[in-house]
Amino acid sequence: MKVKVQVQIESNNSAEPVIEEIFDLTRDELTPETLGLTLDEAKTLLANLQAKFAESQTIEYVKNHRQCLHCGKTRATKDHHELVFRTLFGKLRLESPRFYTCDCQPQQQKSESPLAACLPDRTAPELKYLQTQWVALMPYGVTVKRLEDILPIDQNVATLHRHVLAAGERVDNELGDEQPMFAHGCIAEWESLPEPDPPLVVGIDGGYVHARDGDNRKAGWFEVIVGKSMTADGDKKCFAFVADYNSKPKRRLYETLCSQGLQMNQTVTFLSDGGDTVRDLQFYMSPFSEHLLDWFHITMRITVIRQMAKGLPKLKWLKGVEDNLERVKWFLWHGNVFMALQVLDDIEGNLECLDDKQTTDKVRKFERTFGEFRTYIERNEGFIVNYRDRYFYGKAISTAFVESAVNQVISKRMVKKQQMRWTKKGAHLLLQVRTRVINDEWRDIFHRWYPKMHSTEKTLQLAA
């Protein structure tokens, strides 16, 4: 069997439709593999169809722009160029003639190319959308391969990288100015607001990413802050930024909260591990905010110390360390920092009673970790609350729900087992795209940038 595919093109400018053959295929026997189209055939068919369609579109466009806008005189052709435009269905090589400008008006340029002026960016928005969305979710190499697998296109890592950085920069530039505080209004105003939704819970955490600094292979690490905000209905939005690259952390957080309907009389519960960067970020966001040290991080630290305590020598002075740590946890669970610190002091006192011989490396290591924990509790005293009561009343006590966001946003892609090193700018801009993709906002952002970009959802609905 033979099949020929033709297209019929009806241009607005010509009376006669043009029919052109774009594809043909032959099939012998029917087998599961030969029924219908193969992926390669489909790719060729699409590429050919689009090439023909685009060619007609551009010819028509150029024809319509041949005349002088002012006097209507047909302008003479200066020369021809080939314009390369990349789309989802292949690279288009379009003929782009250059016309002399008409002398009926004073002109700045001697000639101009209407098509080049119409297509200043040489990549189709929809291709950029797919590239940036995929690169945000998987490594460059994999993205290249996947896109080439299903579409009749050649991709390269450098272009993908450039596109994702440009998109990240564009979305970042849309962010308003930074302000020291975002809480606004006064008590009378807040009281006149409608009854607020239940508290927004915001968890903020950090992670570290391998740094790249020119050829310096020992550039170390830098901190990435990741946060997640959750409404009572479970609607989640995440945000991320590089701590000392980005200048607008508060604005970023504020916009995230606003996108979840933050109202100035609504409670916002901030949970974090108490680092300074993270703490500064959450202040002055909303007049009704509460700031808590995350229970999840407290217990994690206690667990580590208890594990270490198990390995300590069984000495008289160290008896009961584990039980005492359990008491510390119990006091902290009830928000009793005073008593927790007293027990911690007791343990510290016992450690000091050991003589030099008993102070092995293990004991010294324990002492150090233990000391850090004590400082951590002391420094964060004001943020330790009665977790038991909150838990009892169903209020948030832990950022465990942020852990998944941290992993989703930075770990897999940027840290774990990846030899990849990042510049602060590169990581920050990729994160901007990545968080929008995870928040399911990326398509809307592209629609805003390119209002004529077709909506997949709509097309699919029509087809269904």
Least distance in angstroms from the C-beta of 10 to Zn ion: 30
- Binding of Zn ion at residue 76 (CB under 5 A)? no
Give 456's contacts (C-beta < 8 A, 6+ positions apart). 443
Name the nearest CA neighbour of 114 among 56, 67, 70: 67
Give 156's contacts (C-beta < 8 A, 6+ positions apart). 144
- Dihedral angle computed from the Cα positions of residues 351, 355, 356 and 360, in that order, rounded to the nearest 10 degrees: -50
The residue type of 357 is K
Selected binder of Zn ion within 7, 46, 83, 102 (CB under 5 A): 102
Query: Which residue number, 32 or 106, has a Cβ lying nearer to Zn ion?
Result: 106
The residue type of 170 is R
- Binding of Zn ion at residue 71 (CB under 5 A)? yes
Query: Which residue number, 64 or 404, has a Cβ lying nearer to Zn ion?
Result: 64
What DSSP string runs through 48-79? HHHHHHHHHHHHHHHHHTSB-TTT-PBPPEEE
Selected binder of Zn ion within 22, 47, 62, 68 (CB under 5 A): 68
- Binding of Zn ion at residue 99 (CB under 5 A)? no
Least distance in angstroms from the C-beta of 102 to Zn ion: 3
Name the nearest CA neighbour of 295 among 221, 385, 381: 385
Least distance in angstroms from the C-beta of 96 to Zn ion: 21
Query: Which residue number, 106 or 176, has a Cβ lying nearer to Zn ion?
Result: 106
Task: Give the total residue count for the chain.
Answer: 464
Name the nearest CA neighbour of 351 among 385, 318, 378: 318
- Between strands 2-9 and 18-26, the pairing is antiparallel
What is the x/- site pattern for Zn ion, positions 10-49, by CB under 5 A? ----------------------------------------
Q: Which stretch binds Zn ion (CB under 5 A): 60-68, 407-415, 425-433, 443-451?
A: 60-68
- Binding of Zn ion at residue 65 (CB under 5 A)? no
Q: Which stretch binds Zn ion (CB under 5 A): 66-74, 235-243, 265-273, 344-352?
A: 66-74
Least distance in angstroms from the C-beta of 68 to Zn ion: 3
As a whole number of angstroms, the distance between CA 274 and CA 377 comes to: 10
Say how many residues touch Zn ion, by CB under 5 A. Answer: 6
Query: Which residue number, 68 or 406, has a Cβ lying nearer to Zn ion?
Result: 68
Query: Which residue number, 99 or 331, has a Cβ lying nearer to Zn ion?
Result: 99
Least distance in angstroms from the C-beta of 65 to Zn ion: 13
Q: What is the DSSP letter of 165?
A: H
As a whole number of angstroms, the distance between CA 152 and CA 40 comes to: 8
Q: Which stretch binds Zn ion (CB under 5 A): 26-34, 69-77, 300-308, 415-423?
A: 69-77
Residue located via tokens 């198990």: 310
What is the x/- site pattern for Zn ion, positions 377-416, by CB under 5 A? ----------------------------------------
Name the nearest CA neighbour of 322 among 298, 350, 280, 296: 350
Q: Are 422 and 212 in contact (CB under 8 A)?
A: yes
Helices (H), 204-286: 249-259, 276-282
Least distance in angstroms from the C-beta of 105 to Zn ion: 6
**Token representation of residue 134:** 């995929």
Selected binder of Zn ion within 5, 39, 104, 304 (CB under 5 A): 104
Q: What is the DSSP letter of 227?
A: E
Query: Which residue number, 38 or 77, has a Cβ lying nearer to Zn ion?
Result: 77
Selected binder of Zn ion within 70, 316, 357, 416 (CB under 5 A): 70
Site of interaction with Zn ion (CB under 5 A): 68, 70-71, 73, 102, 104
